[in-house]
A and B are shown apart, each in its own frame.
Chain A
Amino acid sequence: MPDNEATLEIQHLVRDLKPGDGDLLAALHRVQHRYGYVPAMAMGVVAKQLRLSEARVYGAATFYSEFRLTPPPRTLIGWCSGPACRLKGGEHIRGVLEAELGIGMGENTEGDAIGLHLAQCNGTCEHAPQVWIDGKVVGPLSAADTVRLVRGLKEEA
């Protein structure tokens, strides 16, 4: 999509948001919801709409861990970093995910097929230790379960 077309689309996306009204997070969420991430050019459009400096928008976009600045993978594996998971082998699962995929947290495999995201506890601790595949809780998982799960995802990818 040419840049000016994208600009128009983002302008349309945030057209009802106002300066000085506490709307920056909402603007960034809308952009990420539409594109799966917050493209650099979107920050300029949002800054203009909310009459903020681009630096301030960038500052916020990078401060919060849920905003991505790069395109998302086709399959996103969220790894829960919470305490109940930790006590039940969460670190084992992290080790398996990173070793099987050959990437670290926050990275995507070749061609953005599968990505790892460090997720925060959402209180579904009866399923600990768990991962979230595209937002869906999968658990409790043993390390061996995780190996099988990831190998299956790699085959599908």
Chain B
Amino acid sequence: MPTYDELRAAADEAWKAVAAPPRPLFVVSINTSSLASGVDETLAALRKLSDAGAGFDVMQTGDTGFAWAEPVVQVVKPGGQAVLYGHVSPDRAEAFAKAALGGIATDHAIGVVSGTAPGVPALDSLDWMKIQTRWIMHNCGVIDPEQIDHYIARGGYAPFLAATKLTPEELINVVKGSTLRGHSGSFFSTGTKWDFLRTATAEPKYLVCNADEGDPGAWVNRVVMESDPHMLLEGLLLAAHASGATYGWIYIRDEYPLAIARVTRAIEQCRERGIFGADALGTGVTFDAEVVRGAGSYVCGDETGLISSVNDERGMPRIKPPFPAQSGVLGKPTNVNNVETYACATTLMRLGGEQYSTVGTETNRGTKMFTVSGRVARTGCIEVPFGTKVRDLLAAVGGIAGGRPWKAMQQGGPLSGVLPAHIAADLPLEPEPFRPLGAGMGGGGIVFLDETSCIVDLNVMTSWFVEDESCARCTTCRIGNQRMLEILRRASRGEGAATDVDRMKSLAASMQNSNCFHGQLSPVMINNTLQFFREEYEAHALEHRCPAKVCAGLIRYRVASQHDGVEAAAAICPTSAIVRDGDAWSIDDGRCIRCDACRDVADGDIVIEDRYTDVIPLRVAAPADVARAGG
């Protein structure tokens, strides 16, 4: 097998074609987001031009994080000028190529990566980038994720080599000293976890990488795997050296086929070059890994659920102890971390503890990746120092779309909660400040809500999700979530009862007795809602009114003016609910499913109004009133 120096020499040679290309190089971002924007056709169009002698070369890269600008293409010129372009849709690919070759494709320019380009701002001067410290993402959108040479040329696997000069205890102390904790949302000390495995007595020892990123609205792990799979594999090697583990399973969710393909390929490349297998790069570390393809189960994100799933069982979390470090995959000591955590370990060893400590907070040094979506101007993935204020994050993504008022933030998936804007704005992004609010920061997904969004409707969605994804082992979680969902659905239809809030609080309390986090944290969203959005909840449940006019059971559609547009609306209506009587159109409320298709074609002619306008609101009896009435 080749030595590291030999690998590095070959890699440097291969990287020259990217760092100093002999003719213009078009670097096309191929990732799940860009594929959704049709980049496969953009790539084909550019390749065709290149093959036809247009005088440029084409290379693929992973994810720049600029989901809002996909398809994204970076053009590197021989003189060293590199410009990042966005929105290179297939139909504009040819015109774009011509403009970019001749000078600057002004219509598409996002920012200058290196060199100068008149009229185009420096990429790092954009709000989107200014806030970021791209350490974990340092190869994202830079290298071809399917070329191990690119990774090695950018310094890859050198941190592992250096780390093997340390004893496992020394390496663990470095990791502990860095404050690195699980980026999945658990924020348990990574070094401590690795030490649990190191001191376990049984052999062999195993590693599991949790890439079952199931939080709706989170895709940070996808970005890492699709853009820089070797950074994850190097993190596994570091954990292997620290703990003595010899084999690993990377459990990737079924929804990420490209990540599965790229990580699988990266593993093969490691085997071919002697980085995986016996005596990795002559260091004495022996490690290999395989990809397990998930099949759609949220509770597999719990580490014991994940282990059950790898063990040929239903992915049901089990009772601890024994902890995975004592008995995990195949009954052997096992350590589970997620993708970003392993990648962060690589980042730590690449930068060194001193530099790693230069950003972040005292308790949480370094950076965290976030994916931002919902009602924001720009959807995408960014990496910021721990402690960054939520308001600054929101400003960096262009604020709320259309300049509407910001209402709330739903962070970290359905188990982490929802917070109103006035509280969220000054929260630093690190786990501790969220806890006194009865919420969590979660693993990186952040969904922003504006005034058009209904908190009760979002709660119905998240309650449905956690009920549907319960493994059903614990009665508290299985039945508790069913009851919660029933109550919320009733409330969203205006059929709330005065006693519901007490009932929900009682259910939430009993759900704390569930075995795993899924059951324990399922009520977080509802607790947050009752605490921070009580008025909005009561408007639904007791006053039969959805203030945002979203909840289907509390609104109705009415033909407000008999213009021609209504005829088109009648044609688009999927339930033929818009009916004509003589010259007058009206809506048959019994047939109307509130799908809004009519307003898409006849906005203004058809309006939404409160369904109930003459109902006397129920009044919630305060506990003192109940006591008096009873006594």
Contacts and interface: CB of A to CB of B under 8 A. Distances in A.
Q: Which of B371, B375, B572 has the most CB of A within 10 A?
A: B572
Q: Which of A22, A89, A92 has the most CB of B within 10 A?
A: A22
A123 B224 CA distance: 13
B574 A100 contact: yes
Q: Which of B292, B315, B373, B471 has the most CB of A within 10 A?
A: B373
Contacts of A95: 552, 574, 593-595
A99 B292 contact: no
Interface in A63-96: 63-67, 81-84, 86-89, 91-93, 95-96
Interface residues of B, number: 64
Interface string B476-507: 00000000000000000000000000000000
B383 interface: no
Nearest to A98: B593
Contacts of A50: 312
A96 B375 contact: no
A125 B295 contact: no
A86 B256 contact: no
B552 A91 contact: yes
Question: Chain A contact residues: over half helix, strand or loop, or mixed?
Answer: helix
Contacts of A24: 312
Interface stretch (B423-431, B536-544, B596-604): B596-604
Contact of A124 (B33, B452, B471, B552): B33
Interface in B363-384: 371, 373-375, 379-380
A59 interface: yes
Contacts of B292: 22, 25-26
A84 B575 contact: no
A60 interface: yes
Q: Which of B36, B309, B471 has the most CB of A within 10 A?
A: B36
A91 B373 CA distance: 17
Q: Which of B313, B329, B374, B574 has the most CB of A within 10 A?
A: B574
B390 interface: no
Contacts of B222: 122-123
A52 B600 CA distance: 54
A103 interface: no
A26 B596 CA distance: 42
A72 B500 CA distance: 42
A123 B600 contact: no
A87 B449 contact: yes
A135 B333 CA distance: 38
Contacts of B596: 89, 92, 142-143
A151 B461 CA distance: 27
A87 B453 contact: yes
Nearest to B464: A81
A66 B597 contact: no
Nearest to B595: A95
B33 A64 contact: no
Contacts of B316: 63
Contacts of A130: 36
B315 to A, nearest CB: 6
A83 B597 contact: no
A122 B595 contact: no
Contacts of A63: 297, 314-316, 471
Contact of B601 (A82, A89, A91, A144): A144
Nearest to A119: B255
A60 B33 contact: no
B312 A22 contact: yes
Contacts of B37: 126-127
Contacts of B255: 119-122
Q: Which of B222, B314, B457 has the most CB of A within 10 A?
A: B314
B217 interface: yes
A52 B32 CA distance: 36
A80 B313 CA distance: 27
A85 B88 CA distance: 24
Contacts of A119: 255
A100 B213 CA distance: 32
Contacts of B462: 83
A99 B575 contact: yes
Given A20-B330, A83-B217, A91-B552, A125 B379 contact: yes
A4 to B, nearest CB: 26
Nearest to B330: A20
Contacts of A25: 292-295, 309, 312
Contacts of A92: 594-597
B457 A67 contact: no
A89 B371 CA distance: 20
A126 B574 contact: no
B195 interface: no
B375 A87 contact: yes
Nearest to B213: A123
A29 B67 CA distance: 30
A91 B456 CA distance: 14
Interface in A1-38: 20, 22-26, 28-29
B299 to A, nearest CB: 10
Contact of A65 (B256, B297, B552, B601): B297
B200 interface: no
A120 B597 CA distance: 24
Contact of A147 (B375, B458, B572): B572
B178 to A, nearest CB: 28
Interface in B255-281: 255-256
A146 interface: yes
Given A99-B574, A144-B572, A65 B295 contact: yes
A128 interface: yes
Nearest to A23: B312
Interface in B57-96: 67-68, 70
Given A22-B249, A63-B315, A96-B595, A126 B70 contact: yes
The 7 A-B residue pairs whose C-beta atoms are closest, nearest first, are: A123-B219, A64-B295, A144-B600, A125-B373, A137-B36, A66-B296, A65-B296
Given A52-B312, A147-B597, 11 more contacts: A22-B292, A60-B314, A63-B315, A64-B294, A84-B373, A84-B379, A87-B449, A91-B552, A99-B574, A123-B373, A124-B33
23 contacts: A22-B292, A22-B312, A26-B293, A60-B312, A60-B313, A64-B296, A64-B297, A65-B295, A66-B294, A91-B552, A95-B595, A100-B574, A121-B255, A123-B33, A123-B218, A123-B222, A123-B371, A126-B33, A130-B36, A143-B595, A143-B597, A146-B597, A147-B574
